[in-house]
Amino acid sequence: MVLTECASVGFCAIGPAVMVYPDGIWYAQVLPADVHEIIEEHLVQGRVVERLALMKIPAAGVQESPGKISSDWEA
């Protein structure tokens, strides 16, 4: 796991955002209290945290693993 800080990505209205790559899941309005849930649910268990998920942007050339991230989930 790598944590990368970046400047604005142009979505200031959604508040603090987190992208899980290469899954391409953008989480919006993330509070410090949400970080543990994102790590445990998404990174460890492979389940999207629906209440925070804004959109899914698959990386080019990356195929989803069956059963890991629901292929029918889209923003």
**What are the tens digits of pLDDT across the range 8-42?**
666 677 788 888 888 888 898 999 999 999 999 99
In this prediction, residue 33 carries a pLDDT of 94
The reported pTM is 0.65
Q: In angstroms, rounded to a whole number, what is the distance separating the alpha carbons of residues 38 and 48? A: 8
What is the DSSP secondary structure assignment for residue 54, as one 8-state letter? Answer: E
In this prediction, residue 43 carries a pLDDT of 93
Q: List domains and CATH numbers for the chain.
A: 14-56 (3.40.30.10)
Q: In angstroms, rounded to a whole number, what is the distance separating the alpha carbons of residues 75 and 32? A: 23
Q: In angstroms, rounded to a whole number, what is the distance separating the alpha carbons of residues 8 and 62? A: 25
